[in-house]
Amino acid sequence: MSLTEYRRKRQFSKTREPEPGKNLPKGKRALFVVQLHHASRRHYDFRLQVGDALKSWAVPKGPSYDPEVKRMAVEVEDHPVDYAGFEGEIPKGQYGGGHVAQFDNGVWATDGDAEAQLAKGHLRFELFGRKLKGGWHLVRTAKPAKQPQWLLFKDKDEYAGTIEADDLLGDVAAPPAEDARRAGKGKAAKKGLAAVALPSRRRKSWAAAATKLTGAKKEKLKQDPFEPQLAKLGEAPPEGEQWLHEIKWDGYRIVATVVDGQVRLWSRNALEWTDKVPEITAAVAALGLGSAALDGELIAGRGVTQDFNLLQATLSGERQGSLAYVLFDLLHVDGVDITRAPLVERKGLLGRILESAPPHLSFSSHIAGDGMEAYRLASDQQFEGIISKRGDRPHHPGRSDEWRKTKRLASDEFAVVGFTAPKGSRTGFGSLLLARPDPKHGWSYAGRVGSGFSDELIREIDKKLDRKNAATKPTVHVPPHDTDLRSAQWFDPAAVVEVFYRGIGGSGLLRQPSLKGLRPDKSPGDLADSDRAAAAGKTKASKAAKAAKAAKKSSTKKAAHRSTAADPPDEDPGRAEFRLTSPTRIVYPDQGITKRQVADYYSSVMEWFLPEIAGRPVSLLRCTQGVGRPCFFQKHHTAGLENVDAVKLKEEAGNQADYLVVRDAAAVMELVQFNALEFHPWGAHADAPDRADRIVFDLDPGPNVAWADVVDAARKIRGLLEQLGLASFVRTSGGKGLHVVLPLNPGCDWDVVKPFAHGFADAMAQTEPLKFVATATKKFRTGKIFIDYLRNGRGATSVASFSLRARDGAPVAMPLRWDELGRVKSGAAFDIDSAPRRMKRWKAHPWEGIDAIRQDLDQVGDLLGADASAAPKRTRRKR
């Protein structure tokens, strides 16, 4: 349900309930709220933030901590997010009139896409409030009802018990007596609790074990952040048994301190995060340590999976993700300072402490000695790289050669030194201007990044741009380059971002950069101190480094060979350079098909699919929230697309606009990353937009039309075209019907093609009016086949062969041989699973030879009526 329903039910001149869109919180984690509502009947309102609204359920008896007790939850209209702060009286006579009191609130998380889980009817989630904690379930029932009914119940976790919602009213405002009499008082509470305590954990002192470590001494810990040890960037993993090699975790560095059992979390630059990530705070507290200093990385995922984009989206409230704290160092425990102990000893004790840790805590294991093997394993599992640490050394705050990082992905951190103006629908800025530390000039311009931004990230970064001191003259050294920056605004290094890129050009500029994320935990000064320039300038490489370079060079040559037209890609084109965000988001809820599966499909069929759209203006159907939610068409180029060409074409209004044109596999995969599902090319190429080389007749059956009639209609069109000397081809549409495709070579003007297609459709409708119709009006289409000729004009499109369709079942538009048409059962006979299997069996394309046919529309006008015969004549070309 949308907020339209919420607005419809309320008169905001008479109720204090918040009006939608007035005070939408931004940049905070997704929240939950439970309110006790004495309306016509007493109940609890249970609400979870999903996107920009609160999904809401009325729970008559309130949540129960007993997993065996399943409480009915009636789904009601969505509420605005700022309703989470509402309490007080709703006037009598207004919808929901009665008293509303705050019961509990906090943040919540779930593994996977929340909307997809709700669409499937089972949402698994965690709550982090004062009263409601741990895992919960919402399961939709099959019982028919005016409003969907769900069951709310507790997961069998460490919090499960006998507590009921009515036991937790110790701090909840009581309703007016009149409301209590009308709505009911509920059962007498057994307990007047105001919070639920952490699960009881047997306290164990680790002081004795800590004092046995080398250099340990008793010392009281202060409740202040400490400076962590940092790594320098290297070209290859260091060699030697003294090195411990760990995964390079892709998240935010967080240090934790525990003093007298009280946990506080800090970012690397000493900003407190205790309340930002309550699940991590509670997990560290559950270790039962009296005092401790811990070092680790906050990630989105559990242990072996991580997603930096999901982490940022979760912390900003755009999505819900489960967070984990991966720990890799211990500096103090239970009154004992162990910073002087070798790292291998500190990690040994840390591993013992974490043996029975809560699920939100993980131990960062390591491989001793074999750095190249650790690097290979990290690469195989798609991690960013490894961190190599001297296991025989004590803790040293700050950056040193004793910790080294070796990255797998081409990514790095840069300072933001300016911006360009936004274009199109983007607000804030167009691109960010980047700089890197330069020992000669201080800072040197590295290029600009304009892709990879979400709306929330644009707003967050925009706050950090130094617009007040911006100037048109660069504040950093700008090497010679061909980028037009005349309208750019420059300022001193202001913020740090991490950027993916595909190599560095001859002018020292990043090639095809894409934003990975903002690094609020770092400052430009951190980059200047990292001494990357010195690391990159080392001339003595180890044998392992040389081997890695040779392997990389070899794989690069192979990739280049695979990408040539003469040797089409047979495995995952562009995958090495392609990074997919939100890979687990559900795109087809009915099948549970994810964005990763969509990307894998297009990658696997690229050899066949790319020629269908390459060089043609193309329109996309983008489904940012998956099939079943609103999708939209896009035909114009937008900011953020780095691999897709923008070709200026004249529109009907006389203006020129940048149209999308795909040239290679990288462009296709970039559009998939932008949530494109369907690809609809023009019947012309971008370099000759006024000359059509394809005509498509779309056979769209109305209600009560048998599939056999659609097949018969396609064959009839083929026969009529053959009488005119024209060869044609057929494909399933991926929907209800078929497409008959007529190639033109070298092509015809649109003022010839459009009347031909119209005349042909009209002729069939007039010849057999009980079977065919040439008008799109729905009331005339029952029991008939609409011959859609409207796809044959300048700027009109039809779906490409091999394109997915945004319909249940993930069907595919599939080209056929005419002799196999009779064996096909429907227009959606092939899908995301069966289509690739079919193509693997092919020895040749079903439309083999289509590009060699030479035919046009000369001398057919007399057979099709005055409109076509009035069209300009062309010289006939023989096939």
Strands (E), 189-290: 217-218, 229-233, 243-247, 252-259, 262-267
Partnered with residue 490 across adjacent β-strands are 418, 471
Where does residue 124 rank: exposed (0-12), middle (13-18), buried (19+ CB within 10 A)? middle
Residue 493 CA to residue 479 CA, distance in Å, equals 17
Whether omega for the bond prior to residue 746 falls within 30 degrees of 0, making it cis, is yes
Strands (E), 507-655: 514-518, 586-588, 593-594, 618-622, 632-634, 645-650
Residue 57 CA to residue 50 CA, distance in Å, equals 13
Q: How many other CB atoms sit within 10 Å of the CB of residue 408?
A: 17
Length of the chain: 879
**H/E run at residue 368:** strand 367-368
The H-assigned helical ranges of 143-190 are 177-183
Residue 431 CA to residue 420 CA, distance in Å, equals 5
Which of the following is catalytic: 55, 248, 516, 736?
248
- The closest of 582, 387, 408, 420 to 500, measured between CA atoms, is 408
The H-assigned helical ranges of 513-574 are 524-529, 532-536, 543-562
Radius of gyration of the chain (CA): 32
**H/E run at residue 834:** helix 834-840
Where does residue 398 rank: exposed (0-12), middle (13-18), buried (19+ CB within 10 A)? exposed
Tokens (6 digits) for 486: 């005349």
Active-site residue flag, 26: no
In Å, what is the CA distance from 10 to each residue of 78, 90, 97, 453, 561? 13, 10, 10, 36, 64
User: Which distant-in-sequence residues (6+ apart) come within 8 Å of 51 by Cβ?
Assistant: 115, 318
- The closest of 230, 288, 280 to 256, measured between CA atoms, is 280
Partnered with residue 254 across adjacent β-strands are 267, 296
Partnered with residue 370 across adjacent β-strands are none
Question: Helix-strand-coil percent breakdown of the chain, rounded to 5?
Answer: 25, 30, 45
Where does residue 620 rank: exposed (0-12), middle (13-18), buried (19+ CB within 10 A)? buried
Partnered with residue 137 across adjacent β-strands are 124, 153
Residues catalogued as catalytic: 248
